Structure 1
Amino acid sequence: MTTLTRDPARKAPAGTARSGWRPRLGGPVWLVWRQHRAAFWTLIGVTLVGVLVMVHLRGQMMDYLATLDPTSRRSDGLPPEFEAYTDPLFSIGSYLSYIPVLAGVLLGAPLISGDLETGTAKLATSQSVSRMRWLIVKLAVPAVMLTLSAGVLTTVLTWWWHPVKGLSSSLIWTAFFSVTGVTPVAHALLTFTVGAAVGLLLRRTLVSMVVTLGVVVAMGFVWSELWRSLGHVMSVGTDKGVGPGAVQPELPTEAEQQGQGTYFLTSSGDRLDWTTCLDQVEDDRAHTACLESKHVIGWSLDYLPVSQMQSMQWLGAGIMLAIAAAVATFVILWGRKRLL
């Protein structure tokens, strides 16, 4: 019998020698792997190549840092040549931000729609495997592969970025928030399940991929606009006045300023918009009198500290994983009744 017809889960006869035994996939798991083995092997290959490239580039960067004087390893003391080692880091981080898009369009959308379009779903569920079991395995196997691949790539990127984070404006933590830690894995799983749901509903591979692309891009835009709201905005202020010679508040290291700019701080703790008394700014005395009448004592700035990065990532990942679980549940329940 050929490997296509032989049942991989069937046990060997009792007298068969086990010297050449090796673990084999069986049942629906083997079928899903067999169907999508090209995509899975591509995923494994890309992951291995990506890891090797990042490890090599990180080694070069660390060797260069080792040649620098410790006192120069600051954002204001690094030579221009350092950018040659950090530009690849930023570039590869940008490339990894496309993982959720590829997961939804190339892996999620064709997953079920392809089987519905070719009739494979009808063939698979007409055997001894139930629709629910087939759908669960159909989602689980690619999800595991995607989790391992995205997890490994983002872990290595995080390891590469960690020694130099904050050393330049391009390496600030907000630029790497969505491509390091647990966030990319959760985002990829979310887009993957959304793509699978679109494919189940539309039942046509090409149409599902196009629609999924639009949905995933929209999701990415929403995420880029809302992820900062996962953190707790903090403030820093001064009480030495706002006139000539007064120093504005200084943000903590690696903090990102929030809001539209600097606020006026009053003696009661209230804050006024920087446009307060702007109509009298041409007359210094009138402008100062206006601010004094409102009891302005200094400036205030809002910011997000780098210390909140991990908690924000886990909170965002938790929300995305919860939505992904809900979408996967919908796929299983809907597909159980209306798959064919």
Structure 2
Amino acid sequence: MSNLTATSSAPSEPAAADRGARRPRLSGMIWLVWRQHRAAFWTLLALTALAVAWMLYQRAGLLDHLAAKGWPASGPDRWMEDISPYSSELLKAGYGLGFVPVLLGVFLGAPLLAGDLESGTAKLVTTQAARPARWLAAKIGISALVVVVCTVALSFAFGRWWAPVSRQSSVMDWTSGQAFDTTGPVPVALALFTVIGGVAIGLLLRRTLIAMVVTFFFAVAVQVAWSSYRLDLGHVLRITTDTGVDVGAPSPPAAAYQIDQSYVTASGETLGWSTCVHAGPEEAVAACQQQKGIVGWAVDYLPFSQMSGMQWLGASILFALTAALTVFVFLWGRKRVV
């Protein structure tokens, strides 16, 4: 009886061991990199989860307020009443998210290689465990994956929060950094470019603290340059009139961003709106306008419908620059990582 019991139960132990062995587990270089940076990775993931939960909570409060005002059936004048507390939280969140690429570049990108190069860990790993290219691929690949997961989640949550009032410039202008740089693919592209830039800086300088300081200035420069050329990603449209200037300049479509307003002449030439301001009395101003052949207004603007296309165009440029930096890191680091 006991022999039968022992015989029937014997195969169960190897089967259990086989099931345990088949469980997906990190191994090799991937396990090494994750274990080395697990505190930073788990911190980023945890903070992202908290931020996403908070933004979804704030979105629910905004929707409750709008629904109480009759949204979306009522007009904006109705459901925009008393929205200041909600718009204030939205603006502050957008402003805070703008610092995420900078923080990731400084505290994740810069020390990623610089710390190992400074301490000698890179030499130990690449001479005993793996080739430099494999070590670089694991380091950059896992870090980039964590950055993408976090920024995609933040972008999605903030975009969902802003969506109900996205066409209301009084809440938040879609061309501002708080909206344009924190939704869609832009935050992902900015974060990846800044992080890989920090990695490259750390690889060149090989000192953690100096690399972090230089990466901070690099990240700030990227933000300044990006904000300066952001609007150039769009295709400017123009509204013109030929009924005189007394009726006032035409208004662009709802949610559009007005870039410029000028006079237009009969020949189609545009003149600055201050062309005849200093001509003198009202009659002199009218005479000046007539002398210059001014027949109406010209208003240049970017429609809200271009936002997504502008974001993807800008993100594509940043992704291409990130790919170029990554290639540089591999070419430089493959021979000089030790």
Question: Does TM, normalized by the shorter one, top 0.5?
Answer: yes
Shift of 1:185: 0.1
1:17 aligns with 2:20: no
Larger % of helix: which? 2
Once the two structures are TM-superposed, the CA of residue 72 in structure 1 deviates from its matched residue by 8.0
**Which amino acid counterpart does residue 18 of structure 2 have in structure 1?**
R
* Partner residue, 1:148: 149
Cα deviations across residues 282-326 of structure 1 (Å, max 9, x unaligned)? 222232122112221111111111111000000000000100110
CA distance in 2, matches of 1:160, 1:36: 32
2:192 is aligned to 189
Question: C-alpha distance in 1, partners of 2:44/2:265?
Answer: 57
- Report if the CA contact (8 A) 1:74-1:167 is conserved: no
Instruction: Answer whether contact 1:238 1:249 (CA < 8 A) is retained.
Output: yes
Contact 2:70 2:79 in 1 (8 A): no
Match of residue 51 from structure 2: 50
Aligned mates of 1:274, 1:136 — CA distance in 2: 56
In structure 1, which of residues 203, 206, 213 is the aligned counterpart of residue 206 of structure 2? 203
Counterpart-to-counterpart distance in 2, 1:63 and 1:290:
55
Q: Is the contact made by 2:169 and 2:255 (CA closer than 8 Å) also made in structure 1?
A: no
| Equivalent-residue separation in structure 2 for 1:73 and 1:104 (angstroms) | 44
Q: Displacement of 1:27 after TM fit? A: 1.1
Select which of 309, 312, 315 maps to 2:310: 312
Are the structure 2 counterparts of residues 242 and 162 from structure 1 closer, same or farther at C-alpha, using a change threshold of 3 Å?
same
Matching residue's letter, 2:186: T
Q: What one-letter code is carried by the residue in structure 2 that aligns with 1:290?
A: C
Give, in whole Å, the separation in 1 of the partners of 2:152 and 2:253.
Answer: 31
Cα shift at 1:16:
6.4
What SS does structure 2 have at the residue aligned with 1:126? helix
CA distance in 1, matches of 2:274, 2:59: 46
Partner of 1:167: 168
**Which range is displaced more, 105-114 or 286-295?**
286-295
> Which residue of the partner structure matches residue 240 of structure 1?
243
User: In the alignment, which residue of structure 2 is the partner of 1:278?
Assistant: 277
- What's 1:9 paired with? none
Matched, 1:62 2:54: no
- What is the letter of the counterpart of residue 157 of structure 2? V
**Paired AA for residue 233 in structure 1:** V
Q: Per-residue displacement from partner, 1:28-67 (whole Å, max 9, x unpaired)? A: 1111101100000001101111111111111111122111
* Bigger Cα displacement from structure 2, 29-38 vs 58-67: 58-67
Distance 1:213 1:168 in 2: 31
The AA in structure 2 aligned to 1:270 is E
RMSD: 1.8
Asked if the contact 1:75–1:166 (Cα under 8 Å) also holds between the matched residues in 2, the reply is no
Pair 1:252-2:250 in alignment: no
Deviation at 1:83, TM superposition (A): 1.8
For normalisation by structure 2, the TM-score amounts to 0.91
Matched ranges for 1:84-103 at <5 A: 84-103=85-104
- Displacement after TM superposition at 1:129 (Å): 1.0
The unaligned stretches of length 5 or more in structure 2 are: 1-12
2:210 corresponds to 1:212: no
Question: What is the distance in 2 between the residues matched to 1:152 and 1:202?
Answer: 32
Distance 1:54 1:283, change over 3 A: same
Return the letter of the residue paired with 2:314: G
How many residue pairs end up in the alignment? Answer: 323
| Structure 1 residue 15 displacement after superposition | 6.9
CA distance in 1, matches of 2:92, 2:282: 48
Give the structure 2 partner of residue 82 of structure 1. 83
The AA in structure 1 aligned to 2:262 is Y
CA contact (8 A) 1:198 1:208 kept: yes
Letter in 1 for 2:203: L
Q: C-alpha separation between the residues in 2 aligned to 1:122 and 1:184?
A: 34
Match in the other structure for 1:7: none
